[in-house]
Structure 1
């Protein structure tokens, strides 16, 4: 595989950043994942961190060097994140379950697989044209699909930030698996939170990313979102992937020389962690890496026992 990839997150006008994002790749497979911890609920950053950690941990174990079924991998492990959040809520006796959206993609043998819950999105561009975009699990999207409101109403509707499906919610998540898509040389894939697409229209996103460097494109997109957000915006996070080596970038990744059974994982660094816990008097229950790994292992063992019955 050859590709160029870049990820970044801006805090924006919020006092903390609850977005988490990461990518991981083996010799023949690539995972990208973005999670947006829901700010209307306590400890959304924990749910988001569990999401990216769980997905990348599973990928590192199972992509040796390919996944047996990318679609099954996405569905099962996104559901596993939901189960983990539920277990964490019970174990810590939390008053409210942490919640997060998620969008995750796997590229394997030149084919793109994507699954999502909530309103974090994936975009697929080719030669400056939008080929595909995920459909939000939001109230306004549902109203639009039913013909109750028109497209112009969506950006100003009072429920524009309300989602009806997420990880960690009271009901099982609606996990949408997109149709698999063949990638072509030079295709661009964008995964982003609503802090990006809510501030920058699809047409502008397409224009900004239609440039040789995906690094420059993502940087310009995030800066544009931050500028447009002003004081009312959200955290803004994005991962951009340019498939192949069409641009011959010196930042391009080639996995040709990677050893079988090895993986590389890049977590976006967390800047200015959530201080809301201290501000609202809640108990500080931030998880260490060891605690997250322990929670993952406990859920995995529980799932194994269930399968054996």
Structure 2
């Protein structure tokens, strides 16, 4: 488990402002995204939703965003299964020490992958799956995890940073020096996932990707989103919305994606330390 010095004890008397939105978009006829927020809210199958609330920093919270593979059979079912299973892991994650989170999230990914494969087998289909991002907040520190190309961003001191690393064919080509970032942006390969829940037919387990822990200092914002946002909005667009608005942030980001074309479902969860 990665080590982070100190507890954000100065924030434990503060709060986390959570904002969420999911939208079908301007083109698709149904919503294949799902989300899960701390035992309070889970996406109602296929609907568009929006909301925000505050909760104290002194407890542990679990947040997740899941993007069903667009155009595949049962993508919306796969993302709903992944969200449902994270809810079942909520109590264990809340009770666990920080150094146990990696192993629990690895178990979660293995079980979510197996559950999606079982669902596909029941429907005689080999096409379906879901990405996932998850953030566990414990003692004022955020622990981010992901598989696929749904993203996690950090906004701090006026700067937006992408802290996840897309698991796509395009990103592998960029990492290997075969394609530039400019060539990868919007290319066919940018939509080809190399890892997702429902992909590991050997059931050997997927490798959960881990970001460095983030101390939630006052003003820090973490954002999770499906690619319906990141494909439509540049980092500058996202930073502008986060910097200019303290309320309904997720809704404003989703609206910006729809305004720019809304070619896919879009789901956004923001977490701001206050």
TM-score by length of 2: 0.81
Say which of 167, 172, 181 aligns to 1:142: 172
CA distance in 2 between partners of 1:89 and 1:218 (Å): 32
- Structure 2: runs of 5+ lacking an equivalent: 1-11, 40-55
1:10 aligns to 2:17 (yes or no): no
Deviation, structure 1 residue 156: 3.0
Please point out which of 159, 162, 182 is paired with 2:189: 159
Alignment map for 1:277-296 (pairs within 5 Å): none
Q: Is the 8 A contact 1:37 1:45 kept in 2?
A: yes
**What is the deviation of 1:140?**
0.9
The answer to whether the 8 Å contact 1:17/1:45 transfers is yes
1:74 matched residue in structure 2: 105
Name the CA shift for 1:106/1:214 in 2 (closer, same or farther; >3 Å). Answer: farther
Instruction: Tell me the equivalent position of 1:294.
Output: none
Q: Is 1:204 paired with 2:237?
A: yes
Shift of 1:132: 4.5
d(CA) in 1 for partners of 2:145 and 2:247? 22
Q: Cα deviations across residues 270-308 of structure 1 (Å, max 9, x unaligned)?
A: xxxxxxxxxxxxxxxxxxxxxxxxxxxxxxxxxxxxxxx
Q: What secondary structure does 2:189 align onto?
A: coil
Q: 2:199 aligns to what SS in structure 1?
A: coil
Query: C-alpha distance in 1, partners of 2:164/2:270?
Result: 15
Could you tell me which of 72, 84, 95 is aligned with 1:53? 84
Instruction: Say yes or no: does 1:227 pair with 2:241.
Output: no
Number of aligned residues? 240
Match of 2:267 among 215, 237, 240: 237
Could you tell me which residue of structure 1 aligns to residue 47 of structure 2?
none
Deviation, 1:102, is 0.6
Sort the Cα spacing of 1:82 and 1:124 in 2 relative to 1 into closer, same or farther, 3 A: same
Shift of 1:185: 1.1
Q: 1:157 to 1:131 in 2, by over 3 A?
A: closer
Q: Residue 196 of structure 2: SS of its match in structure 1?
A: coil
Structure 1 contact 82–167 (Cα < 8 Å) conserved: yes
Cα-Cα RMSD: 2.1
Shift of 1:206: 1.3
1:70-104 C-alpha deviation (Å, 9 max, x unpaired)? 222222212211011123333x2422253001111
For normalisation by structure 1, the TM-score amounts to 0.72
Q: CA deviation at 1:145?
A: 1.2
